[in-house]
């Protein structure tokens, strides 16, 4: 019989005619750190759900510890030692740490009566396993993302766990927290626990995993040892395309700065930030998750106004106290969380494009000019190559890359001078990312001033002319992108 | 040591119960000062007896809101089951004790609650809509199929139960007396059972869990559908029991006079700090909030506010109370975001 | 080419699929009308009967329109009846003062009553809107509280008694039939319904409302002024409720604090039955108007069967509401499942 902990053989799965998984086979050995990568919609999450018993495969089988299953139920999966940690950690924000930790094991033991003393003991034991220190009586909703994740991991370890599946575990973590997570993963490995790590971040795949499996459109395109992989191969496997990087060279930079920040600050977020932004320029602001970069972005758009310093637009001081003021001064903002902040998912693509400029498409008393509205929509769908059969379809029918183009269209339609982008390609697949970078560079050439806030260093290096590095709320370096590399930036960030 | 005390104080200050308790005490003292009658034994007994039925309803509403749902059908449900019970017992000329009435009403309440539970739990329809619809259906059955009219005579067992008292309180000044009805026992028993259920059983903790995150509860392997179903059955039974107590205490069955109570009951539960979005709140707070509403409704007359003004005060109470807790939530969120930022910057 | 060859059945199917909910309501109305035609034709199909229906439903129909707007933003307005009664009682006092010795009214009285009434409704609505937007009180609680407050003010002003004995001219004017055919109440309803239809489908405000209801966060990040939008919405709702109250004042020829107390939940029921999503962002006025018509027809139709207690109406309402929701559950669940799976691809 096979040595492996888990072996999936020839898994097929389709949903109402759409093939989600085609003949996928791979295996995981005990104590192995295995990375599962793939673009959005490549079948990653379907595969996880098949392994954890949420979906049953159409054909194919799985082996856990030598035992063959044609179909597996979630309970079988848990009893075979499989635990899934979803992106939202499956926690109860309204309950205490203690209850969150003990809830699952109490359920698994089919207990009916709650014994608070026993719960406390279960919880204490659980966090001791990974040396995690936390107030057991704190409400989980008040904890940081990393702490929530530790709770999810502690909880997963309470069972006789042999394999932990982590779905994009590093998404909302600071660099230090990621380091901490990786240390814990390595410790788990020493104990013989295998980790299936779902990610599409190249550097993480190289750093932590020994084996990898890449899916594309439901098919397994590559599996093997990470040592044999490099970044060109990785993006080729992911997308099936080869890309030529086009590094941004600023052409028509205006003489006078269009936007100036003079010593601006916000309490307990960032302080004393100054920079000038000119037309035709792309400035990158990078830093760790806790560096204050997001707060800075939000304050420039007036969501959380600054409390000292001054902002000058075209040389005149402007008090940006809300997004309307920012928009009046031709500043737009592409938010970090596209799904909740950037888009109205269930509304039409058309309405999503015109919503910010809608007042200009109406007459004095607010009656919409339908002809101009549809002209605008047609124009932006064409210019940004948003691929949709009908702009009246709901926005949620689009892929991540196309959704991001809709957000861009919404702002470009306003005829802006300054566009702030916070994580412009987060959750966008490699192909679309490339296209979006192309659009941004073209916009700069046309005279727009862009500010990209991102922790994706290759992205910043490729697309910006200047890079400001933030650390603990202030700017610690102002670099010329052409003369710097990832290492230099990282040394300032840490 | 000092820090633990200030810690506890800080934790307390973020909860709602102390504020509600303070407001309640202030109101009581104010009424006492103005009238000198509030803390008289007979007035306290009167309030307790006025509290029994709304208290029972509030317990049911509390469970539903904790689970993330809402129920506007309980007055109709209670009216229907108690009316059907009373009518049936009158028709068969039942002469026995009140226990049979309670049993029948509980059984009917369970069936009607199951109706809600079926659509909310198993079909996953929004609770507000289902209970709006079911409240209309229950009213229709009662007034249409049962052709309900006011029943001025009730079965002897219920009559005796309604008039029997635990003790009688006499006001030494005015000489007025008030009876503590036995029905208060039913309330206390249910209160104790539900307290135990919510605090010491997986079922109760599961209700909190579902209110906090239904997906997490489902992934943890919790039977979300069954739990919701059973909860609505229980709530139906508690509401029916409240209906029986009300009919016994009033000595007559009036088919419609409970209707419309749902708003004030829900308001009381929310005033006591139960989050309308589910998952947060304590039974103690819920009882304090309900008591506050009951006192405003019953005792304002003692300080010379005419009864016709009582809705104005309840309305203001709801607006100010929910406004304060909404403000608290937004302040907490702000504090929390600053705290987490600070934590991460360190 | 393809379109021409479509069979009538296929064409109907396509029409049905474009808005299932709406067509389901239409089919229900038609089935009920046929049923009544077969059983009680002469008692139902008379001009007088239709006129009576048309003069009654605007009371709660107008309030439902307001509730609909609030529900599209993801909120709710439970204060409509309170606002309606508050308006009608204040206006009844005004009419009482204006009534002259001969029992008549000065010519400006009725326009003044309507103007002031709408202003009162707007003010009450703005109050709700401020509670919801500036104080962040959940709409269900804010409007429940303000509804109680307005009802309380009514009780305090009237001691629970009816305000009547004002000039009959008011009631008679509103109960007029335009061209001997169309009741004035219906006309007011139609004007308001068209106004709101126009607001929702032809103006910037309407688009913003749907977007706000879909995601308040995304609306903020798109530069919409959420607070102002909400205040305006609740203001229009208050105006609708006030108009409903003025019609009640005419229909009963008096005002009282507890008139129409069943309307609160009934309006919510109508709006949901009309296909408005209680979570916001979705809903059409056509659906709500059809739901109003359906309910009025059911009620009046049942009244034509003397052997059936009119109380069965609420049974049928509740039944229809739950039935429609269950039907939606089955059709949407199957399509939603497919869509979700497609999306993952």
Sequence spans of domains, chain B: 37-297, 310-346
Instruction: Return the bridge partners of A28, or none.
Output: A6
Are A113 and A106 in contact by the 8 Å Cβ rule? The answer is no
| Section C192-218 average pLDDT | 94
Are A166 and A85 in contact by the 8 Å Cβ rule? The answer is yes
Strand order in the sheet with A466-471: A331-334, A418-422, A449-453, A282-287, A466-471, A474-480
- A127 φ, ψ (degrees, to nearest 5): -75, -25
Does residue A194 belong to any structural domain of this protein?
yes
**Which one of A347, A404, A416 makes the best mutation probe of the C interface by having the most chain C beta carbons within 10 Å?**
A347
Q: Is A475 helix (H, G, I), strand (E, B) or coil?
A: strand
pLDDT exceeds 60 at position A209: yes
Are A305 and A417 in a shared domain? Answer: yes
Q: Report chain C residues whose CB lies below 8 A from the CB of A303.
A: 220-221
Contacts of A472 (CB under 8 A, 6+ apart): A290, A291, A292, B345
Are C140 and C121 in contact by the 8 Å Cβ rule? The answer is no
Q: Which residue has the tokens 């400029």?
A: A357
What span, in angstroms and rounded, lies between the C-alpha atoms of A333 and A181?
32
Contact A351 C207 (CB under 8 A): yes
Are A92 and A200 in a shared domain? Answer: yes
More confident residue, C243 or A254: C243
Q: Which residue has the tokens 């997308």?
A: A239
Q: At A172, which CATH number?
A: 3.40.50.300
Instruction: Return the bridge partners of C290, or none.
Output: none
pLDDT exceeds 80 at position A201: no
Q: Report chain B residues whose CB lies below 8 A from the CB of C319.
A: 133, 137, 140
pLDDT in tens, C298-332: 888 888 887 777 778 788 888 888 888 887 777 76
**Count of Cβ atoms closer than 10 Å to residue A348 Cβ:** 19
Contact C341 A323 (CB under 8 A): no
**Please, what is the average pLDDT of chain A?**
87
Are A437 and A445 in contact by the 8 Å Cβ rule? The answer is no
Contact A114 B217 (CB under 8 A): no
Does residue C42 belong to any structural domain of this protein?
no
Q: Is C259 helix (H, G, I), strand (E, B) or coil?
A: coil
Q: Which of B130, B135, B127, B146 is nearest to B211 (CA)?
A: B127
Name the residue among B199, B336, B344 with its Cβ closest to that of A290: B344
Give chain A's domain count: 2
Name the residue among C202, C210, C222 with its Cβ closest to that of A356: C222
Are A340 and A199 in a shared domain? Answer: no
Does residue C335 belong to any structural domain of this protein?
no
Are A47 and A112 in a shared domain? Answer: yes
Contact C145 B308 (CB under 8 A): no
Contact B201 A292 (CB under 8 A): no
Residue C22 touches partner B, C-beta closer than 8 Å: no
Looking at residue C263, its pLDDT comes to: 87
Give all chains having 3 or more CB-to-CB distances under 8 Å with chain A. Answer: B, C
pLDDT in tens, C15-61: 676 677 888 889 889 998 999 888 878 878 888 888 888 888 999 99
Give chain C's domain count: 1
What span, in angstroms and rounded, lies between the C-alpha atoms of A339 and A355?
16
Looking at residue C6, its pLDDT comes to: 61
Are C316 and C307 in contact by the 8 Å Cβ rule? The answer is no
Contact A368 C207 (CB under 8 A): yes
Residue B260 touches partner C, C-beta closer than 8 Å: yes
Q: How confident is the model at residue A206 (pLDDT cuts 50, 70, 90)?
A: confident
Looking at residue B338, its pLDDT comes to: 45
Are A194 and A280 in a shared domain? Answer: no
Contact C218 A323 (CB under 8 A): no
**Which one of A49, A96, A99, A114 makes the best mutation probe of the B interface by having the most chain B beta carbons within 10 Å?**
A114
**Please, what is the average pLDDT of chain C?**
87
In angstroms, the first-to-last Cα distance of chain C is: 33
Containing domain of residue A338, as a range? 257-493
Our measurement of the distance from residue C222's CA atom to the centroid of its chain's CA atoms, rounded to an integer in Å, reads 31
Name the residue among C214, C220, C339 with its Cβ closest to that of A347: C214
Contact B200 A113 (CB under 8 A): yes
Contact B267 C317 (CB under 8 A): no
Does residue C33 belong to any structural domain of this protein?
no
Looking at residue B11, its pLDDT comes to: 64
Are A288 and A424 in a shared domain? Answer: yes
Are A222 and A271 in a shared domain? Answer: no
Instruction: Return the bridge partners of A286, or none.
Output: A469
Alpha helices by DSSP H, listed for chain C, are: 2-5, 8-18, 20-44, 47-56, 58-72, 80-98, 109-133, 139-158, 168-174, 184-202, 204-214, 216-221, 226-252, 263-273, 285-303, 312-344
Contact C208 A358 (CB under 8 A): yes
Q: Which 124-143 residues of chain B touch chain C by CB within 8 A?
A: 124-126, 128-130, 132-143
pLDDT in tens, A17-40: 677 888 888 889 888 999 998 877
Are A304 and A266 in contact by the 8 Å Cβ rule? The answer is yes
The highest-confidence range among A387-391, C152-156, C325-329, by mean pLDDT, is C152-156
Name the residue among C140, C142, C278 with its Cβ closest to that of B129: C278
Are C128 and C118 in contact by the 8 Å Cβ rule? The answer is no
Parts of chain B with a pLDDT under 70: 1-14, 331-346
Instruction: Return the bridge partners of B165, or none.
Output: B181
Are A91 and A206 in a shared domain? Answer: yes
Q: Which of B122, B140, B101 is nearest to B231 (CA)?
A: B122
Q: Which of C285, C309, C287 is nearest to C299 (CA)?
A: C309
List Cα–Cα distances, B211 to B65, B227, B273, B321, C240, in angstroms: 8, 12, 15, 22, 35
- Output DSSP code: residue C169: H
Q: Report chain B residues whose CB lies below 8 A from the CB of A472.
A: 345
Residue A323 touches partner C, C-beta closer than 8 Å: yes
Name the residue among C145, C151, C325 with its Cβ closest to that of B267: C145
pLDDT in tens, C57-96: 999 999 999 999 999 999 999 999 999 999 999 999 999 9
List Cα–Cα distances, C343 to A418, B326, C68, in angstroms: 33, 37, 31
Looking at residue C342, its pLDDT comes to: 42
Q: A328: phi > 0 → left, psi -120 to 50 → alpha, else beta; which?
A: alpha
What span, in angstroms and rounded, lies between the C-alpha atoms of A271 and A308?
8
Q: Which of A22, A17, A107 is nearest to A59 (CA)?
A: A22
Strands A211-216 and A219-225: antiparallel
Q: Which two tokens stand for residue A350?
A: 């058309």
Q: Is C71 helix (H, G, I), strand (E, B) or coil?
A: helix
| DSSP codes joined into one string, B221-243 | T--HHHHHHHHHHHHHHHHHHHH
What span, in angstroms and rounded, lies between the C-alpha atoms of A460 and A478?
13
Q: Which two tokens stand for residue C182?
A: 């169309």
Containing domain of residue C103, as a range? 48-300+312-328
User: If you count residue pairs, one on A and one on B, with CB atoms under 8 Å apart, how many are there?
Assistant: 81
**Which one of C195, C206, C232, C345 makes the best mutation probe of the A interface by having the most chain A beta carbons within 10 Å?**
C345
- State the DSSP H helix or E strand holding residue B10, giving kind and residue range, or none if neither: helix B2-13
Strands A211-216 and A194-198: unpaired
Pick the CATH number of B37-297 from 3.10.620, 1.10.3470, 1.10.357, 3.30.230: 1.10.3470
Contact C204 A368 (CB under 8 A): yes
What span, in angstroms and rounded, lies between the C-alpha atoms of A247 and A438?
10
Does residue C105 belong to any structural domain of this protein?
yes
Nearest CA in chain A to B67: A94
List Cα–Cα distances, A10 to A22, A80, A218, in angstroms: 8, 20, 12
What span, in angstroms and rounded, lies between the C-alpha atoms of A67 and A76?
11
Are A40 and A119 in a shared domain? Answer: yes
Rg (CA), chain C: 22
Looking at residue C260, its pLDDT comes to: 85
Q: Which of C146, C310, C149 is nearest to C234 (CA)?
A: C146
Q: Which 232-291 residues of chain B touch chain A by CB within 8 A?
A: 275, 278-280
Q: At C322, which CATH number?
A: 1.10.3470
Q: Is A81 helix (H, G, I), strand (E, B) or coil?
A: coil
Contacts of C211 (CB under 8 A, 6+ apart): A344, A347, A351, A355, C218, C219, C222, C224, C281
pLDDT exceeds 60 at position C109: yes
Burial of A54 (0-12, 13-18, 19+ CB in 10 A): middle
What span, in angstroms and rounded, lies between the C-alpha atoms of B225 and B122?
6
Q: Which of C307, C306, C288, C310 is nearest to C298 (CA)?
A: C310
Instruction: Return the bridge partners of A466, or none.
Output: A283, A480
Least confident of A99-108, A235-244, A277-286, B134-143: A235-244
Q: Which residue has the tokens 């919880």?
A: A123
What span, in angstroms and rounded, lies between the C-alpha atoms of A323 and A342?
14
Looking at residue C189, its pLDDT comes to: 96
Q: Report chain C residues whose CB lies below 8 A from the CB of A20.
A: 341, 344-345
Contact C343 A396 (CB under 8 A): yes
Looking at residue C17, its pLDDT comes to: 67
Contacts of B15 (CB under 8 A, 6+ apart): B273, B285
- Here the contacts of A432-436 (C-beta below 8 Å, separation 24 or greater) are A432/A399, A432/A400, A432/A401, A432/A402, A432/A404, A432/A405, A433/A401, A433/A459, A434/A243, A435/A385, A435/A401, A436/A401, A436/A404, A436/A405, A436/A408
Q: Report chain B residues whose CB lies below 8 A from the CB of A94.
A: 208, 211-213, 275, 278-280
Give all chains having 3 or more CB-to-CB distances under 8 Å with chain C. Answer: A, B
What span, in angstroms and rounded, lies between the C-alpha atoms of C89 and C87?
6
Q: Give, in degrees to the nearest 5, the angle at Cα B251 between B245 and B252.
A: 100
**Which one of A75, A78, A103 makes the best mutation probe of the B interface by having the most chain B beta carbons within 10 Å?**
A103
**Count of Cβ atoms closer than 10 Å to residue A400 Cβ:** 19
Q: Is B178 helix (H, G, I), strand (E, B) or coil?
A: strand
Are C201 and C192 in contact by the 8 Å Cβ rule? The answer is no
Least confident of A147-151, A209-213, A335-339, C284-288: A335-339
Nearest CA to CA, how far is C123 from chain A (Å)?
22
Q: Which two tokens stand for residue C92?
A: 């009844």
Does residue C146 belong to any structural domain of this protein?
yes
Name the residue among B129, B141, B147 with its Cβ closest to that of C272: B129
């Amino acid at each position: 019989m096979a040595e492996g902990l888990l072996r999936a053989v020839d898994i097929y799965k389709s949903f109402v005619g759409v093939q989600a998984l085609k003949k996928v086979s791979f295996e995981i050995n005990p104590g192995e750190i295995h990375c599962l990568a793939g673009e959005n919609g490549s079948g990653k999450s379907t595969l996880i759900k098949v392994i954890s018993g949420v979906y049953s495969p159409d054909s194919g089988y799985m082996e856990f510890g030598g035992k063959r299953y044609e179909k597996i139920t979630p309970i079988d999966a848990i009893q075979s030692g499989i635990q899934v940690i979803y992106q939202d950690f499956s926690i109860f924000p309204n309950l205490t740490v203690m209850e969150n930790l003990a809830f699952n094991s109490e359920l698994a033991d089919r207990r009916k009566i709650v014994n608070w003393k026993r719960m406390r003991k279960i919880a204490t034991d659980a966090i001791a396993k990974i040396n995690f220190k936390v107030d057991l009586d704190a409400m989980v909703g008040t904890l940081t993302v990393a702490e929530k994740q530790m709770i999810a991991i502690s909880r997963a370890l309470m069972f006789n766990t042999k394999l932990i599946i982590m779905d994009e575990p590093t998404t909302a973590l600071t660099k230090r927290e990621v380091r901490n997570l990786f240390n814990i993963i390595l410790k788990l490995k020493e104990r013989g626990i295998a980790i299936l790590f779902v990610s599409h971040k190249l550097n993480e795949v190289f750093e932590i995993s020994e084996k990898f499996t890449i899916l594309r459109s439901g098919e397994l395109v590559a599996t093997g040892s990470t040592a044999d992989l490099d970044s060109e191969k990785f993006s080729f496997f992911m997308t099936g395309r080869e890309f030529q990087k086009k590094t941004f060279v600023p052409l028509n930079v205006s003489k006078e700065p269009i936007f100036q920040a003079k010593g601006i600050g916000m309490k307990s977020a960032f302080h004393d930030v100054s920079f000038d932004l000119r037309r035709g320029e792309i400035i990158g602001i990078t830093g760790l998750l806790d560096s204050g970069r997001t707060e800075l972005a939000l304050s420039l758009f007036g969501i959380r106004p600054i409390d000292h310093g001054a902002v000058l637009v075209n040389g005149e001081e402007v008090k940006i106290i809300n997004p309307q003021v920012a928009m009046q001064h031709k500043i737009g903002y592409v938010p970090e969380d596209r799904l909740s902040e950037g888009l109205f998912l269930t509304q039409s693509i058309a309405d999503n494009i015109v919503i910010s400029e809608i007042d200009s498409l109406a007459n004095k008393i607010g009656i919409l000019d339908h002809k101009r509205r549809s002209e605008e929509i047609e124009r932006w769908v064409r210019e940004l190559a948003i691929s949709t059969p009908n702009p009246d379809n709901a926005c949620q029918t689009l892929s991540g890359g196309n959704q991001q183009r809709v957000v861009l269209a919404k702002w470009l339609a306003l005829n802006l001078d300054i566009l702030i982008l916070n994580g412009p390609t987060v959750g966008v697949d490699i192909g679309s990312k490339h296209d979006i970078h192309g659009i941004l560079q073209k916009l700069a050439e046309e005279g727009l001033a862009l500010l990209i806030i991102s922790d994706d260093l290759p992205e910043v290096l490729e697309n910006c002319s200047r890079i400001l590095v933030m650390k603990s709320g202030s700017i610690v370096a102002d670099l010329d992108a052409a003369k710097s590399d990832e290492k230099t930036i990282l040394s300032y960030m840490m | 040591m000092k820090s633990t005390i200030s810690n506890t104080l800080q934790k307390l200050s973020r909860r709602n119960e102390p504020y509600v308790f303070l407001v309640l005490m202030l109101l009581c003292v104010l009424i006492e000062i103005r009238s000198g009658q509030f803390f008289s034994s007979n007035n306290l007994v009167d309030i307790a007896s006025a509290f029994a039925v709304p208290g029972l309803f509030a317990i049911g509403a509390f469970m539903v809101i904790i689970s993330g749902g809402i129920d506007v059908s309980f007055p109709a449900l209670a009216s229907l089951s108690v009316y059907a019970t009373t009518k049936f017992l009158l028709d068969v000329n039942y002469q026995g004790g009140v226990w049979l009435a309670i049993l029948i009403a509980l059984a009917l309440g369970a069936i009607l609650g199951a109706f809600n539970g079926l659509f909310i739990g198993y079909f996953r329809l929004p609770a507000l809509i289902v209970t709006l619809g079911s409240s209309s259906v229950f009213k229709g059955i009662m007034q249409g199929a049962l052709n309900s009219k006011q029943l001025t005579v009730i079965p002897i067992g219920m009559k005796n139960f309604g008039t029997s008292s635990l003790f009688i309180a006499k006001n030494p000044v005015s000489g007025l007396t008030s009876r503590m009805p036995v029905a208060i026992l039913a309330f206390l028993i249910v209160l104790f059972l539900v307290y135990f259920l919510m605090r010491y059983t997986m079922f109760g903790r599961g209700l909190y869990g579902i209110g906090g995150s239904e997906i997490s509860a489902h992934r943890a392997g919790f039977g979300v559908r069954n739990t919701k179903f059973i909860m609505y059955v229980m709530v139906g039974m508690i509401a029916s029991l409240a209906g029986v107590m009300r009919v016994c205490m009033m000595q007559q069955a009036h088919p419609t006079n409970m209707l419309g109570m749902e708003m004030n009951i829900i308001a009381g539960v929310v005033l006591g700090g139960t989050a309308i979005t589910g998952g947060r709140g304590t039974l103690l707070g819920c009882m304090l909030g309900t008591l506050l509403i009951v006192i405003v409704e019953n005792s304002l007359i003692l300080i010379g506010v005419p009864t016709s003004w009582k809705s104005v005060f309840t309305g203001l109470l709801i607006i100010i109370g929910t406004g304060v807790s909404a403000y608290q939530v937004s302040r907490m969120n702000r504090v929390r975001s600053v705290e987490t930022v600070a934590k991460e910057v360190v | 080419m393809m379109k021409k060859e479509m069979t009538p059945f296929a064409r109907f199917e396509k029409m049905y699929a474009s808005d299932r909910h709406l067509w389901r309501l239409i089919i229900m109305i038609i089935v009920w009308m046929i049923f009544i035609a077969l059983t009680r034709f002469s008692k139902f199909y008379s001009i007088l009967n239709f006129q009576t229906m048309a003069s009654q439903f605007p009371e709660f129909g107008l309030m439902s329109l307001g509730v609909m707007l609030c529900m599209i933003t993801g909120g709710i307005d439970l204060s409509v009846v309170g606002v309606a009664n508050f308006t009608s009682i204040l206006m009844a006092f005004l009419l009482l003062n204006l009534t002259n010795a001969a029992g008549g009214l000065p010519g400006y009285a009725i326009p003044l009553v309507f103007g002031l009434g709408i202003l009162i409704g707007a003010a009450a609505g703005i109050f709700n809107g401020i509670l919801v937007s500036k104080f962040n009180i959940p709409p269900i609680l804010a409007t429940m509280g303000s509804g109680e407050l307005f009802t309380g003010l009514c009780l305090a002003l009237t001691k629970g008694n009816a305000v009547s004995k004002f000039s009959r001219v008011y009631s008679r004017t509103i109960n007029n039939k335009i061209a001997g055919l169309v009741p004035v109440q219906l006309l007011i309803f139609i004007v308001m319904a068209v106004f709101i239809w126009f607001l929702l489908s032809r103006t910037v405000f309407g688009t913003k409302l749907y977007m706000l209801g879909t995601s308040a966060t995304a609306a903020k990040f798109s530069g919409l002024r959420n607070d102002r939008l909400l205040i305006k919405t609740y203001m229009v709702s208050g105006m609708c409720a006030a108009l409903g109250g003025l019609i009640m004042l005419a229909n009963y020829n008096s005002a009282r604090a507890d008139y129409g107390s069943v309307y609160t939940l009934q309006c919510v029921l109508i709006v949901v039955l009309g296909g408005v999503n209680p979570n916001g962002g979705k809903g059409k006025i056509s659906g709500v108007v059809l739901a109003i018509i359906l309910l009025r027809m059911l009620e009046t139709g049942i009244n034509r069967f003397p052997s059936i207690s009119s109380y069965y109406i609420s049974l049928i309402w509740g039944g229809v509401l739950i039935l429609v929701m269950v039907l939606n559950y089955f059709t949407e669940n199957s399509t939603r499942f497919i869509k979700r799976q497609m999306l993952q691809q």
